[in-house]
Amino acid sequence: MRQIVIIGAGLIGTSIGLAATKNGLTCTFVDSNPRHQALATQLCGSGGSSFADEEVDLVVVATTVPDLANVVLDALNQYPKAIVIDIGSVKTKVLLEVSLKVPSNDLSRYLGTHPMAGREITGPEGARSDLFAGRAWAICPHEGSNQADVASIEELIRSFGATAYQMKSEAHDEEVALVSHLPQLLASLLAGSLHGELSLAGQGLRDMVRIADSDPLLWSGILSGNQQAIKPLLRQISKQIDQLVDLNLSRESVERVIAAGVVGKSTIPGKHGGVDRDYAKLPVVISDKPGQLAALFAICGEIGVNIEDLSIEHSPAQATGLITLFVAQGDLSTLINELSGRGWEVHP
Amino acid sequence: MRQIVIIGAGLIGTSIGLAATKNGLTCTFVDSNPRHQALATQLCGSGGSSFADEEVDLVVVATTVPDLANVVLDALNQYPKAIVIDIGSVKTKVLLEVSLKVPSNDLSRYLGTHPMAGREITGPEGARSDLFAGRAWAICPHEGSNQADVASIEELIRSFGATAYQMKSEAHDEEVALVSHLPQLLASLLAGSLHGELSLAGQGLRDMVRIADSDPLLWSGILSGNQQAIKPLLRQISKQIDQLVDLNLSRESVERVIAAGVVGKSTIPGKHGGVDRDYAKLPVVISDKPGQLAALFAICGEIGVNIEDLSIEHSPAQATGLITLFVAQGDLSTLINELSGRGWEVHP
């Protein structure tokens, strides 16, 4: 695989271009927005490179969901030797629409995929070559898929640092309905309920509505395209809400809902594609002045303890802050001893 | 105000004890759990200090919501000269129950309050003297409140570093229904829907269910106690969900919900009691090995740039990671120049 055409120079399309260019592939961008097309082309440094349609090895369709099927169909026609993949958030609908309109030998060249990556900054400006590093990337082979093509797309995805998960398009759509589309709708519905002063708003609310800043146009295409999988989930939520109201939020009814949530939350795998890395946490009190974090991390570096993750409590106005370090379980006692031995206030 | 009795040696009660002790006040704890009572007493270093009931200036009732009213009533009886406050998450119900059972001259000594603070670690073990620093703390005077008492409680709250917000108990209950109770229920309902492999789960879902780990017993008391304010909000959410389902998640219907969420989200004030501290963000690429964070923060300390907050993208398995530094707007260009000048890969 050498020559790639990327249709749609948004965040995902341009990031794919950056990652592919880094791996020595050549990319050409096509976008109805000339500024996006020019910026993506410039970012990937592939200047005026263009190649004959017959020489294209791969077409990546990275448009919005409602356009996917038509653009895939056009690409299968225009580039007769290319594998054509799309990166849309919905898979069954696109596969169905494409299947209905192309001969099956052309269909074998189409493969639906979906990288689970994104950023708050959209458009080619937000693109990064490492956008997919450490992320899951679903690929959804169909009955007519060419296995060699599937393998080479998997290899490409791995070369971007992502983890490929093969699944049927229906299974994909049901899973994203649960882990992405339902959360988006609930975040938006919650945010949409907000009104008034809200001087008591805390971090819980802020976390819950973080994704409510989403693009209505983009998301209406995605959610509408996956209505079959989303509707049963919504019905179930609505039914449970109605039950809570009917029971006047009795303690038993609320207790059931909260307890079920505790169990459900525990089913989310660890951060890294299903492998649960069970880090130990260590809260440490720090002064809110320059140099404190440096001193803390210098000690961690010195004693060879890797900080896997960390969080700072949001209270910069106060004189002291609390930082929570996440480290491997085996490193915890060393870290506690070394830090407290040097006068740091730790709260294991 | 010198001598305080704290009834309920949990996270909040014990943290109040720590903050008060730090300010030179003397605290006695009462808890039906002898281990909690002993630990809180020990943490506050007020050893065996006890005083006559008539000498108590303030009683803080920090039990669970269903017990609040009875404990407040008992405290008003037992400590004839004390102001009695509670710190429960629900205010109207408690005020009503207390009002019905005490003479009005005793009622004047009762004041409902609610600190918007908490931690994942519950019980006296989680207590911190700075738990309230930078947090909002609602106080809900009633018609018979003694204004001098209200002022002295406000002063105490400010001495803990918190910001006091006076509001009617009904307004408090409506606001927490919106900013705390509805988010809790939606997080729990979402988490309760989860099932299956979930290999595609990303940060959006994880943020949405962070608070779903809550204690069912504690929260059933809170939510049940605020059912009047919560029910209309739940009905509205359920109605909107049913509409979405009825319209088969048409693009227009979804667009409306997402757009309303974008508007709603923008009404949330900044992190610090309404003052929006608008930090600049700087993403920096780091290697996943010990010492990288230390080196990065050493530079920040050296050039006098204070890191107000930070986040690490969750992909420790990859060779490089992305850390986002939050700094004052005025520090951004310095930081960019210094870091990139020293070979760090920054993405402003």
Closest partner CB to B204 (pick from A183, A223, A306): A183
Sequence-separated (6 or more) residues with CB below 8 Å from residue A169: A91, A92, A95, A112, A140, A142
A218 to chain B, minimum CA–CA distance in Å?
A: 9
What residues of chain A lie within 8 A of the CB of B127, using their CB?
none
Which residues of B fall within a CB distance of 8 Å from A202?
116, 135-136, 179-180
Whole-angstrom distance, CA of residue B3 vs CA of residue B85 = 14
By Cβ distance, the residue of B172, B212, B261 closest to A187 is: B261
Cβ within 8 Å of residue B304, ≥6 positions away? A290
- Nearest neighbour of A208 by CB, restricted to B172, B183, B244: B183
Task: Give the N- to C-terminal CA distance of chain A in Å, as an integer.
Answer: 51
Share of chain B above pLDDT 90, in %: 62
pLDDT tens for each residue of B41-98: 888 876 556 779 999 999 999 999 999 999 999 999 999 999 999 999 999 999 999 9
Q: Which amino acid is at A279?
A: Y
Best mutation target among B89, B234, B236, B241 (most A Cβ atoms within 10 Å) is B241
Report the distance separating Cα A88 and Cα A112, nearest Å: 8
Q: Which residue of A has its CA nearest to B139?
A: A200
Name the H helices within chain A: 11-22, 34-43, 68-78, 92-101, 104-107, 147-159, 169-176, 182-193, 203-208, 216-225, 227-246, 251-265, 292-302, 332-341
Among candidates B136, B191, B293 on the partner chain, residue whose Cβ is nearest the Cβ of A297: B293
Residues of A in contact with B306 (CB under 8 A): 288-290
CA distances from A113 to A116, A152, A313, B318 (A): 10, 13, 37, 21
Q: Is this structure's pTM higher than 0.90? A: no
Three-class secondary structure assignment of A15-32? HHHHHHHHCCCEEEEECC
Instruction: Tell me the pLDDT band of B222, cut-offs 50, 70 and 90.
Output: very high
Q: How many CB atoms lie within 10 A of CB B279?
A: 19
- The CA distance from A76 to the nearest CA of chain B, in Å, is 27
Residues of B in contact with A216 (CB under 8 A): 254-256, 258-259, 262
Q: Over the stretch B273-314, which tens digit does the pLDDT of each residue have?
A: 333 456 788 878 776 666 777 788 888 888 888 887 776 654
Domains of chain B and any CATH numbers: 3-167 (3.40.50.720), 172-246 (1.10.3660.10), 280-346 (3.30.70.260)
Contact: A175, B197; criterion CB under 8 Å = yes
Q: Cα distance from B28 to chain A (closest Cα, Å)? A: 24
- Please, are residues B76 and B100 in contact by the beta-carbon 8 Å criterion? no
Give the tokens for residue B111.
Answer: 């004041």
Q: Which of B192, B251, B302 sits opposite A260 (nearest CB)?
A: B192
Chain B residues with CB-CB distance to A184 below 8 A:
204, 258
Taking CB atoms and an 8 Å cutoff, what residues of chain A touch B294? 294, 297-301
Is the reported ipTM for this assembly greater than 0.95?
A: no
What is the structure's pLDDT at A125?
83
CA–CA separation, A222 and A183 (whole Å): 13
For residues B183-202, average pLDDT: 94
Sequence-distant (6+) residues with CB within 8 A of B273 are A199, B134, B135, B136, B163, B165
Yes or no: say if B325 and B311 are a contact pair by the CB < 8 Å rule: no
Instruction: Report, in angstroms and rounded to the nearest whole number, the Rg of chain B calculated over CA atoms.
Output: 24
Q: Choose the closest CB to B220 out of A134, A254, A260.
A: A254
Shortest CA gap B189–chain A (Å): 6
- A298 compared with B18, residue with greater pLDDT: B18
The pLDDT score that the predictor gives to residue B130 is: 84
Nearest to B60 by CA among B113, B107, B24: B113
Contacts of B180 in chain A (CB under 8 A): 200, 202, 204-205
What is chain A's pLDDT, residue by residue, as a tens digit (348 residues)?
889 999 999 999 999 999 999 899 999 999 999 999 988 998 887 655 677 999 999 999 999 999 999 999 999 999 999 999 999 999 999 999 999 999 888 999 999 999 998 876 778 888 888 888 878 999 999 999 999 999 999 999 999 989 899 999 999 999 999 999 999 999 999 999 999 888 898 888 988 998 998 999 999 999 999 999 999 999 999 999 999 999 999 999 999 999 999 999 988 876 433 334 467 888 787 765 667 777 888 888 888 888 777 766 544 334 456 677 888 888 999 999 999 999 888 877
